[in-house]
């Protein structure tokens, strides 16, 4: 029983410390935040262990780990921007985004998913030249596409109707951003650096800031797709506020 108490206590201390670190912007908080759900599960498991071993201090530790990880999730869920109501002349647009993962070789699964969803627009990230070749089959469904070759950081866009593409390079590492002008709306496909360390976290923040600036200057409805690698409220809210400020008409 002593072994389980030590094991539970160690796991809960790690969960509590990681949860506290994730409450602060910057690294390592930005890297820990996406795993807050797992940290929350660890707290729930700790409660179960506390019930079995009947140790009050383990129960308090588990409760603290739960609170530290659950509270930011609850606040984040409630603090969402309210966009304007859909205009009467609007029309629906469907978009599917897939982060295919550059090392993934399950090409058929992704193309089958795109075919099954049959969205108006299909976007993807980490589209290496090999992935781009395998996604060529989508052109029968999506006759208009933009697939700049950028190695493992590639982004691609496929659509059923024509658009005017532009490729931006943002941040210190010049990461790609697609802007697709469909005439009545604009679609961005983003793929910044992951906040894997302090230096890359700054690059991620620069990318998000530049993206927010571009979105903020749009005068038509905007869709932002992609993996923003953002979990902290600060940077994410900056983009959301820019989008909310410009989405004056429904799609």
Query: Before 146, cis peptide (omega within 30)?
Result: no
pLDDT digits (tens, 9 = 90+) for 59-98: 777 778 777 777 777 776 666 665 555 555 667 899 999 9
How do 95-99 and 121-125 pair as beta strands?
parallel
Structural domain ending residue among the three candidates 30, 45, 78: 78
Q: Does a structural domain hold residue 35?
A: yes
74, 103: one domain: no
61, 137: one domain: no
State the helix-helix crossing angle for 233-246 and 198-216, rounded to 10 degrees.
10
Q: Does a structural domain hold residue 90?
A: no
pLDDT band at residue 188, thresholds of 50, 70 and 90?
very high
Length of the chain: 251
Give the contacts of 201 (CB within 8 A, at least 6 positions apart): 26, 27, 30, 31, 195
99, 74: one domain: no
User: How far does Cα 251 stand from its chain's mean position?
Assistant: 22
pLDDT of residue 250: 38
Q: Does a structural domain hold residue 11?
A: yes
User: How far does Cα 227 stand from its chain's mean position?
Assistant: 4
Q: What strands, in cross-sheet order, belong to the sheet with 164-170?
A: 164-170, 175-181, 186-190, 222-226
154, 51: one domain: no
pLDDT digits (tens, 9 = 90+) for 18-53: 777 766 666 666 666 667 777 777 777 766 766 676
12, 71: one domain: yes
140, 64: one domain: no
Q: How far apart are CA 40 and CA 58, in angstroms?
A: 15
Q: Is the pTM of this model over 0.75?
A: no
Its domain, for residue 228, covers: 95-246
pLDDT of residue 40: 74
Q: How far apart are CA 11 and CA 42, in angstroms?
A: 7
47, 125: one domain: no
Assess whether pLDDT exceeds 90 at residue 181. yes
Q: Does a structural domain hold residue 87?
A: no
Cα 189–191–197 angle (5° rounding)? 160
Q: How far apart are CA 181 and CA 187, in angstroms?
A: 7
65, 149: one domain: no
Q: Does a structural domain hold residue 251?
A: no
pLDDT of residue 77: 67
DSSP letters spanning 60-91: HHHHHHHHHHHHHHHHHHH----PPPPPTT--
194, 139: one domain: yes
51, 158: one domain: no
What's the total number of domains in the chain? 2
Q: Does a structural domain hold residue 107?
A: yes
193 vs 211, higher pLDDT: 211
Q: Does a structural domain hold residue 9?
A: yes
Structural domain ending residue among the three candidates 78, 105, 122: 78
Give the contacts of 54 (CB within 8 A, at least 6 positions apart): none
Assess whether pLDDT exceeds 60 at residue 17. yes
236 vs 118, higher pLDDT: 118
Assess whether pLDDT exceeds 70 at residue 247. no
Structural domain ending residue among the three candidates 52, 78, 104: 78
CATH code, 164: 3.60.10.10
Q: How far apart are CA 24 and CA 170, in angstroms?
A: 24
126, 221: one domain: yes
Beta carbons within 10 angstroms of residue 89's beta carbon: 7
Three-state SS annotation for 8-37: HHHHHHHHHHHHHHCCCCCCCHHHHHHHHH
Give the contacts of 47 (CB within 8 A, at least 6 positions apart): 59, 62, 63, 66
Element (H, E) at 174: none
179, 224: one domain: yes
Q: Does a structural domain hold residue 202?
A: yes
């Amino acid at each position: 029983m002593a072994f389980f108490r030590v094991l539970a206590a160690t796991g809960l201390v790690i969960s509590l410390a990681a949860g506290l670190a994730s409450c602060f912007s910057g690294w390592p908080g930005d890297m820990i935040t996406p795993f807050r759900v797992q940290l929350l599960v660890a707290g729930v498991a700790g409660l179960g262990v506390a019930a079995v071993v009947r140790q009050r201090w383990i129960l308090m530790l588990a409760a603290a780990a739960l609170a530290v990880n659950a509270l930011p999730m609850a606040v984040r869920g409630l603090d969402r921007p309210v966009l304007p109501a859909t205009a009467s002349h609007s029309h629906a647009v469907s978009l599917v985004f897939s982060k295919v993962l550059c090392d993934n070789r399950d090409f058929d699964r992704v193309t089958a998913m795109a075919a099954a969803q049959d969205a108006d627009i299909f976007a993807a990230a980490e589209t290496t030249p090999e992935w781009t070749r395998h996604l060529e089959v989508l052109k029968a469904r999506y006759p208009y596409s933009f697939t700049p070759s950028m190695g493992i950081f590639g982004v691609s866009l496929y659509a059923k109707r024509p658009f005017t593409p532009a490729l931006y390079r943002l941040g210190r590492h010049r990461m790609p951003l697609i802007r697709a002008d469909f005439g009545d709306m604009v679609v961005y496909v983003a793929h910044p650096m992951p906040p894997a360390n302090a230096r890359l976290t700054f690059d991620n923040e620069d990318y998000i800031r530049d993206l927010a600036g571009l979105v903020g200057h749009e005068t038509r409805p905007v869709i932002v797709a992609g993996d923003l690698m953002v979990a902290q409220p600060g940077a994410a809210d900056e983009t959301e506020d820019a989008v909310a400020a410009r989405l004056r008409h429904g799609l």
